[in-house]
Structure 1
Amino acid sequence: MHFQPTEEQRDLRAGVRSLLAGRYGRAALRQSVDTGAAVDRALWRELGAAGFFALRLPESAGGVGLGLPEAVLVFEEAGRALLPGPLVATHLAAGLVPGAAEGAAVVTAFDLGGRLVAYLGEADAVLGADRVPAGEPVAGADPLTPLHRVPSAGEADPYREAGPYRATGALLTAALQLGSALRTVELAVGYAGGREQFGQPIGAFQAVKHLCARMLVRAEVARTAVYAAAVTGDAGEGAAAKLLADEAAVGNARDCLQVHGGMGFTWEADVHLHLKRAWVRSEQWRTGAQAEELLAAELLGQAEAEAEREPAGGS
């Protein structure tokens, strides 16, 4: 199969990258971190006007009418920019929650499992729920992913309501992770080429070369898996994509920290923001353990089907 983006898809990706670079560049990111503003309503509406949330909504319903492969490319760019907010949930809510498609409404979801909800304080709606529940703020790793813990609903588990959206939500989250993994490769290579020790760039040292090469391999393997899952729609490939993208985002952020040395651990550097966001996203929609269970069940099912097709007595 050929998974290379078409010219139209490349143009779409370039357009989104240009939009985010102009509207949510590094200065805006750092301002968000300093102020704690996790959701910029004006930017949210701009994303809605650009078709970010209505990308897969049919044209007959006022959407863009594109598919999952295009959505993956768009979310990859959002991951590169570390764009905060419940992007996946609002995208999934287009056509279901009034205002979501246009960016007029911020929609979150019970995508972390249990009782934790991200962006609850900023949300106008919760995907699959009839109301926004009250919650207690809890400390989180990522300064731009505020978390709340909601009380038990007793007879119903609200996380179960996000179940129908889990496969697509996991793949779009994998695309966000992929974008972050690719961006940290760029950050590491850029720093290694400009930082000098002993009269030469640190990128000339073999240990640093190996770190950067390992980062690139992780990111490209994840890219292949995410693109393939978007094209085929296969459940197993989607689980593998989330698993590989999580590993790439977390592993690359850690290696990027190593390339930066002590500078990477400072608040002023952006590397720690990629790592913290990757930690949170690795728990959203489908964890690594859940992906492994799904893949194991699929492989077991294939093995059992093959065994049933074998003639009695074997060969």
Structure 2
Amino acid sequence: MRFQLTEDQRVLRSGVREVLARVFGAEALWAAVDGGGGLDRGLWRELGAAGFFSLRVAEGEGGVGLGVPEAVLVFEEAGRVLLPGPLVATHLAAGVVPGAASGEVVVTAVGGGGLVEWLAEADVVVGEVGGAVALRSVDPLTPLHRVPEADSSVRPDDLYVLLTAAEQLGTAVRACEAAVQHARTREQFGRPVGAFQAVKHLCAELLVRVEMARAAVYAAAVTVDPVDIAAARLLADEAAVRGARDCLQVYGGMGFTWEADVHLCLKRAWVRAERGGSITESEELLAGELLIEAG
């Protein structure tokens, strides 16, 4: 499949990137981390005003009237800036839950493994959360609860998984960009570290994983097929998690310090990889389809 963005889609992506740079740049990211990770309601309403949540709601119902491919582009940009909050759940609730589309209402949902993000901050919760227990989240910008009695056989909605994969893709892009920038500017023994073969290989592998994940995520956005979404999820998770780890290697010791935001990419990728449920389910779904085609 050959997937090329239309001019309108390129303009949308560029516009979303500009908006997110304005409302959630580097200073806002660190302010959120240092502030304990509470949800910024003002930011949420700004996202609502920009059409982030109402993107797929019909124009006749007050929405933007776009489709899944455009939503994937928007969530990729959100992942790239590490935008916090139950973005996917609120987006999917727009047009159904009053106030969700405008950002006046925060919606969260019980995800894979009974994990619930931002439970204390949410106005509406999709799913049963009786007996939810607070967890210590590895990601400072994703507070978590677990529902012990959650039905592990219930699979998350396919769009929930796909938009999460788009977020993972964006995080992988951020890690790749950070690694390349550091390799170009950081000098060791009088040369940029990017001049060393081992670092070149790491950066090249980062880029390959990003582009493979992008192709899969974009294709799944067009087909909205469960098998394509499973493949996109697997590749996006790998690109985000391994990409952040390789970025840490490019940074060397500096990457493990608090002020370098590379660790935020890795922590976000770890948490998002759990959101779509067991990775084994995606692997089995994809393997089953491959066996059918082979037979």
Indicate the TM-score class for this superposition, using the shorter chain for normalisation: over 0.9
Pick one of 271, 274, 288 that aligns with 1:283: 274
1:246-300 deviations in whole A, cap 9, x for unaligned? 0000010000000000000001010000000000111112442111011122223
Gaps of 5+ in 1: 305-315
**Rounded Cα–Cα distance in structure 2 between residues aligned with 1:295 and 1:51:** 34
CA distance in 2 between counterparts of 1:217 and 1:113 reads 30
Equivalence for 1:221: 212
Tell me if the contact between 2:57 and 2:66 (Cα under 8 Å) persists in the aligned partners.
yes
Following superposition, the deviation at residue 150 of structure 1 comes to 3.5
CA contact under 8 A between 2:255 and 2:262: conserved in structure 1?
Answer: yes
- Counterpart Cα distance in 2 of 1:234 and 1:33: 36
The equivalent of 2:49 in structure 1 is 49
Distance 1:62 1:2 in 2: 33
- In the alignment, is the contact (CA less than 8 A) between 1:111 and 1:159 conserved in 2? no
> 126, 146, 149: which is aligned to 2:146?
149
| 1:300 corresponding residue in structure 2 | 291
* Distance change in 2, residues 1:134/1:43 (3 Å): farther
Q: Which residue of 1 aligns with 2:250?
A: 259
Q: Tell me what 2:113 maps to.
A: 113
CA contact (8 A) 1:195 1:201 kept: yes
Counterpart-to-counterpart distance in 2, 1:276 and 1:211: 20
Match in the other structure for 2:168: 177
Query: Which stretches of structure 1, 4 residues or more, deviate above 6 A after TM superposition?
Result: 158-161
**Identical columns (%):** 65
CA contact under 8 A between 1:243 and 1:287: conserved in structure 2? no
* TM norm structure 2: 0.95
- Normalized against structure 1, the TM-score is what? 0.89
Distance 1:181 1:151, change over 3 A: closer
1:184/1:197 Cα in 2 relative to 1: closer, same or farther (>3 Å)?
same
Matched with 2:100 is: 100
Amino acid in the other structure paired with 2:229? G
Which residue pairs with 2:77 in the alignment? 77
Report the secondary structure of 1:85's partner residue: coil
Matched-pair contact (CA < 8 Å) for 1:221–1:244? yes
Number of residue-to-residue matches in the alignment: 295
Q: In structure 2, what is the Cα distance between the partners aligned to 1:79 and 1:39?
A: 16
What code does the residue aligned with 1:140 have? S
| Cα RMSD after superposing both structures | 1.6
Matched with 1:245 is 236
Contact 1:38 1:145 in 2 (8 A): no
Give the superposition deviation at 1:301. Answer: 3.5
- Identify the residue that residue 37 of structure 2 maps to in structure 1: 37
Matches of 2:242 and 2:120 in 1, distance apart? 30
Given residue 159 of structure 2, which amino acid in structure 1 is its aligned partner?
T
Query: Is the 2:53–2:103 contact (alpha carbons within 8 Å) kept by the matching residues of 1?
Result: yes
* 1:128 CA drift (Å): 4.6
CA distance in 2, matches of 1:118, 1:299: 33
Kindly provide the amino acid, as one letter, of the partner of residue 42 in structure 1.
Answer: G
Q: Deviations over 1:62-87 (max 9, x none)?
A: 11110000000000000000001110
**1:127 matched to which residue of 2?**
126
Aligned residues of 1:264 and 1:272 also touching (Cα < 8 A): yes
Q: Tell me which amino acid in the other structure corresponds to 1:119.
A: W
With over 3 angstroms needed to count, the CA separation of the structure-2 counterparts of 1:276 and 1:227, relative to structure 1, is same
Aligned to 1:310: none
